[in-house]
Structure formats: C-alpha cells, structure tokens
Amino acid sequence: MTARAWKLEWTGSRGQAEKAKEARGVKRATLFTPEHKRRSSGAGSSPFRHPGSGRSVAETFKQAREEKKKGRASWGDLSGEEMATLRFGQHIIKASAVFLQTDLSFALVNRKPVVPGHVLVCPVRLVERFRDLRPDEVADLFCTTQKVADAVEKHFSASSLTIAIQDGPEAGQTVKHVHVHVLPRKPGDFEKNDSIYDELQKHDRESEDVASKWRSEEEMEKEATELRGLFS
C-alpha cells in the first residue's frame, strides 16, 4: 500500500470514528437529560436543595467557586441564607461538612469518626442500594473515592486504608443512602486489625449513638475546610 493510499484509508477511518463518537455523544446527551434523571432516579430527583432558593448543592458550590475566582467570596462565606443543607439518607446535614463535590458525587467529614480522617463519599442522587446506581454514578463514585482516599491517607500521615461499603441492613447499613467509608489506617490503631469492621457495624446505628460522642458542627466545618484545601 502506498503512503498516499494508507493516508487516505487512515483519514477515512478517523472520520468514521469521529462520526461514531459524535453519535455516541448525542445518544448519551439524550439518555441523561434532566427529565430522564428525574424519571429514573427511583428515590426522586436530587434532594440536595437550598431551602430558600431551590438551588442544588452543586449549584450553590458552583456559584461559590465562581465568586472565589473573582476574589469576592470563599467556601467559608456559605452561611446563613447562602448555606445549603443536604439530605444524607434520613439525616439533614449542612453543606459546610462537604469538602469535595463533583456533578455526581460528594465527600463529607464524619460526625463520629472511627479513626482520625474517617470520611464518607456518596452519590449526589439519593439512592439506598449500590445496585440502583447508574453506570456513570458508579464510575464517578469510585473515581472520587480514589481521589479522596489518596488525599486523606497523606494528610493524616497514614500508611494504609480501609475502604468499605455497607450495602443493606444485614451488612450494617442504617443510613439509607449509598456511602463509601474511607478510613486512614496506622500501625496499632486497633489491638486486632479486623476490629475496625466491628466498629463500622455499629457506626451508623442510632440506638448506639450517644450525642455526647458526636463532633460539633464547628469541629466538622473546621476539618472540612482543612480538607477542602487539599483539592483547591
């Protein structure tokens, strides 16, 4: 085959590939329109709404990022009427506890960490079971978890990680919202290494929750602000 013929064939193949890619893009855009997301959400559309304006957490954070770029605001400025709240299963938490947000996932600090740096990564859409996540949500959840895990391991001077999902009541899940536990691990943090799973089993149980052991909103916000800086 001459160089010219090869070039023509390669160019034609590339053109076909680009057309196929465009077709896939159109199909994807059609599949995941806002209307489709509302219909397919199962538990309803995203519950993360600013109570006053109806803005989602993602929209609130996007505005905050834009304001920060202009030098007019920071993450810490999200307070009062501008402070979004979000639903984490049956719980309502402040957006100040969130330290990383993507279009489909978010990461938040823990009100009762099992070990220092114990954080949670969740899908934005309120979904109870892992099997009910869409493929794009699964991909984003694990990519976000990987990013968060690497950051907290280094930040808390750990040497290993425990990453776990409690999927269903028999697995210890009581918060009806898929969430990934990310726990930085150090030598000797538990007398028996597997004891951490016993702690996770009772972590979310409301019957064993003692409010005095919960961290204050101020403590959680302080840690979230600190972790947020790792991704800026």
pLDDT digits (tens, 9 = 90+) for 153-196: 999 999 999 999 999 999 989 899 999 999 999 999 988 888 88
Element (H, E) at 31: helix 3-31
Question: Which residues are known catalytic residues?
Answer: 179
Comparison of pLDDT for 127 and 203, the residue scoring more: 127
Q: Is 166 annotated as ligand-binding? A: yes
Is 114 in contact with 196 (CB distance < 8 Å)? yes
| Amino acid, res. 97 | A
Residue 172 marked as a ligand binder: yes
**Structure confidence at residue 72 (pLDDT):** 46
Contacts of 9 (CB under 8 A, 6+ apart): 1
Is 118 annotated in some ligand binding site?
no
Residue 80 pLDDT: 43
Q: Is 173 annotated as a binding residue?
A: yes
Average the pLDDT over each of 18-32, 107-121, 218-232 and give the range with the smallest value: 18-32
Tell me whether residue 193 is annotated as binding: no
Q: How far apart are the C-alpha atoms of 74 and 64, rounded to whole Å?
A: 7
Residue 110, annotated as binding a ligand: yes
**Residue with more model confidence, 88 or 202:** 88
Q: Is the pTM of this model over 0.85?
A: no
Least confident stretch, 8-22, 35-49, 89-103, 172-186: 35-49
Kindly indicate the confidence band of residue 61, based on its pLDDT and cuts at 50, 70 and 90. low
> Cα dist. 208→185, 203, 211, 214 in Å?
24, 8, 10, 12
DSSP E strands: which ranges in the chain?
85-88, 91-94, 98-101, 105-109, 119-123, 160-165, 180-185
Closest among 46, 181, 61 to 121, alpha carbons compared: 181
Decide which of 74 and 170 is more confident.
Answer: 170
Residue 62: predicted pLDDT: 59
pLDDT, the chain, mean = 74
Q: Which of the two residues, 65 and 179, has the higher pLDDT score?
A: 179
